[in-house]
Amino acid sequence: MKALLNGSENGEIAVERQIGVSMMEQLVPEITTHALSYLDYPSLCRLSMTNSHMREAANDDNAWKALYHKDFTLEQHNVRPPNGWKAYYAATRTIVNTNAEFFRIVRESSLPAMSQFWLNADYVKCFHATGESFSGYDAVMESWRLAFRWDNVVDFQVRDVKARVLTEMAWVTMSAYIEMENGPFNVTNVYEFQNGRWYMVHHHTTFFVNIGIGQLPLHGQVAPG
């Protein structure tokens, strides 16, 4: 009888310990990683702060690789980030946000912000949609000063953003539409990491010309470049 009671007590203790463990903690690692692949970036970060077990699971490299491919691009499936996929995800998110800041500056026609955005170096280059090219920081800034003089700046949509990040260099390709029924501006931006932040060093906009419509850049409008 005593043995039965002891067995019952041990069973209750085991049940209590099991109850104190979350469902996620009871899953095998492979299933946990698969489940975490459905989370977004904020959710994965919040999960890592719950306890040590979840922090370990949320820092799994495969979970961050899956999140990277979901949020960014599958083109880099064979990339092997030297510091792991979590660090690579963070670096890519930073450069994508930096690239979005460039378009905000263009929309606001802010020359002071643009002057801070570019690296002050003689090797920077800018190719505008008009076909004009400018080399060197001063020439590039003058080109933006002239572009921002137009009053009838139009809004545009940026799509198909794809980023590639190295240690100190990154480039982003995308399509920018002024009018969705017309062809896009194909844009390439290159960034260099200096003094703890990313600076633009190269901007290239190529306007899509629809031969059938005879589409040309619209004078008096500030395109992305």
Assigned fold of 85-207: Nuclear Transport Factor 2; Chain: A, (3.10.450)
Map out the domains of the chain as residue ranges.
2-71, 85-207
**pLDDT at position 69, please?**
85
Q: Torsion over CA of 207, 209, 214 and 218, rounded to 10 degrees?
A: -10
pTM of the full structure:
0.73
User: What mean pLDDT is reported for the chain?
Assistant: 78
- Tell which residue, 59, 109, 55, 106, has the closest CA to residue 85: 59
pLDDT, residue 32, reads: 62
For domain 2-71, which CATH number applies: 1.10.1060, 1.20.1510, 1.20.1280, 3.40.50?
A: 1.20.1280
